[in-house]
Amino acid sequence: MGRLLLGASTGRLPEPVVSKPRHLLTHPHHLVARFVGSLSSKPPDPADDAWALTQLLPGEQQLWHRMSNQDRRHSITVARRFVDARPASTRAEVAGALLHDVGKIECGLGTWGRVAASVVGGRTERFRCYQDHERIGAELAATVGSDPATVDLIAERGPAFETLHACDRA
């Protein structure tokens, strides 16, 4: 997600500089699929939800239950792709795949707010929160005692990140 980089103080607001490419421009198919999936608030299939819970530590399960149904369904899909692409993945890595969007719980944005944040960037505090959900999610996971590999994956780093990124964009 794009991050705002601030320059030297000049008495006026600096021009925003985006440090990473916008998903809107680089992965429109992913955004369309996420949008369509977000239109239903149906909970995940009970068998999928049960599988997810077996991959999560107790504190991670609490975070999982705070995620929206739409985000949990998406995360299960991504985590299943991740396991298929990386069969030797550890429980901690699968937990990172399941919780890769957990930072979004702090932003308080619904579907249309997320669309707006993706289009216009971090123009409001909540939009900036959405743009920084990876760092926020990693902090949440660390706070509940997640394995460092889980925290790293949520923070978009570590040896399994490229696989997770590909599975999230598929």
User: 74-126 pLDDT, tens per residue?
Assistant: 999 999 999 999 999 999 999 999 999 999 999 999 888 988 988 998 889 99
Q: How far apart are CA 71 and CA 34, in angstroms?
A: 9
Question: Taking CA 150 as the corner, what is the angle to CA 145 and CA 155, rounded to the nearest 5 degrees?
Answer: 110
- Whether 79 is covered by a domain: the verdict is yes
Is 158 inside a domain boundary? Answer: yes
Domain assignment present for 15: no
DSSP-assigned beta bridge partners for residue 18: 4
When divided into structural domains, the chain yields a total of 1
pLDDT tens, position by position, 112-150? 898 898 899 888 999 999 999 999 999 999 999 999 999
Asked, for residue 136, whether it belongs to a domain, the answer is yes
Among 145, 154, 149, 148, residue whose Cα is nearest residue 106: 154
Range of the domain at 162: 23-169
Angle at the Cα of 142 from the Cα atoms of 139 and 144, rounded to 5 degrees: 115
Question: At which residue do the structure tokens 């530590």 appear?
Answer: 57
Q: Is residue 9 part of a domain?
A: no
